[in-house]
Chains A and B, each alone.
Chain A
Amino acid sequence: MSASTSTDTLSPSQKAHAHPNPEVHGDGHDHGTRRTYLIGFALSVVLTAIPFWLVMNNVIADTMIATLVIMAFGVVQIFVHMVYFLHMNTKSEGGWTMMAAIFTIIVIVIALSGSLWVMFHLNTNMMPGHIMNPADLI
């Protein structure tokens, strides 16, 4: 590894530190424009209105399908908010905001799916009704 590569391997944040006036340079965050805020707002209004309409008018008869559809709308809307309002991208803070978010999402998925999976199996296996023959209790 030669000394000539040393400047190329500086991370964006280190480069920002070297900048004489960080206020002019920006803080690594993209604040969006009036247009992106309005697009995000329009999308989130649509993505909120549809699930409310589905539930209020009982549009989908099958509860399971309705639940899945509503959850899908919720997940899409969360991503819309993260992109258009929280300005998530892979570049801000040298990618560390995205890394923290991905780590958090992994932990959330494990916590939610793990809790639900374990507790519902526990309920199924520990219910008193599960013991069919009262003689087994003695």
Chain B
Amino acid sequence: MSSHAKAAEGEAPQFYELVPHHHAPHGSTQIGFWIYLMSDCLIFASLFAIYGVLGGNFAAGPSPAHLFNLQLVAVSTGALLLSSITYGFAMLDMDEGKKTGTLVWLVITGLLGAVFLGLTLYEFYHMIHEGAVPQRSAFLSAFFVLVGTHALHVTFGILWLVTLLVQIGMKGLIPANRIRVQCLSMFWHFLDVIWIGVFTVVYLMGMLR
């Protein structure tokens, strides 16, 4: 706007800023991480599209009603939901500057994430044991890619969480660590949002087919 004002006074129009202005450290980290999450969302959208197209092609193999155990899915969904609120409590403790509280809630979050991951791996093991391998049918390929990608995200989320525990333990709640905790918070809640889509489309709608 100032350039317009100057141009009106007869000076040469200025189309870019010559004077460097101050950016707060990590000032753009959160919006950048949000853009990453949105692009990750598009990966999941394409995997959901694949599952939507191929999810009914059983190739005379097992169907969701044969394979899925809804009680197990309900327990793992509960673990992930609980981990979302325990992460929220970690954020609240961090805002109040409580280092021990933050660490304890983060550890509980990580354990709940590990329970979820363990149940997913148990399900995969059980399915593969029964011969329901990805090569068996288009439905199973799409299933393993979609649920496997989500499980991989949770795995990296837990790795990140453990790294953060060490960093907070060593350096405390410094600004850099606060930003990291906030980014992992977005990542963790985002994975929960994706899981809502997975249990609705894959498990619940699969049982109705």
Contacts and interface: CB of A to CB of B under 8 A. Distances in A.
Nearest to B192: A81
Contacts of A119: 53
Interface of B is mostly: helix
Contacts of A111: 42, 45-46, 49
A71 B196 CA distance: 10
A34 B92 contact: yes
Interface stretch (B81-89, B127-135, B157-165): B81-89
Contacts of B30: 27-29, 93
Interface of B: 1-2, 4-5, 8, 21-24, 26-27, 30-31, 34-35, 38, 41-42, 45-46, 48-50, 52-53, 70, 74, 77-78, 81, 84-85, 88-89, 91-92, 95, 175, 182, 186, 189-190, 192-193, 196-197, 199-201, 204-205, 207-209
Interface of A: 1-3, 5-6, 9, 16-19, 22-23, 27-29, 31-34, 37-38, 40-41, 44-45, 48, 51-52, 55-56, 63, 66-67, 70-71, 73-74, 77-78, 81-82, 85-86, 93, 96-97, 100-101, 103-104, 107-108, 111-112, 115-116, 119-120
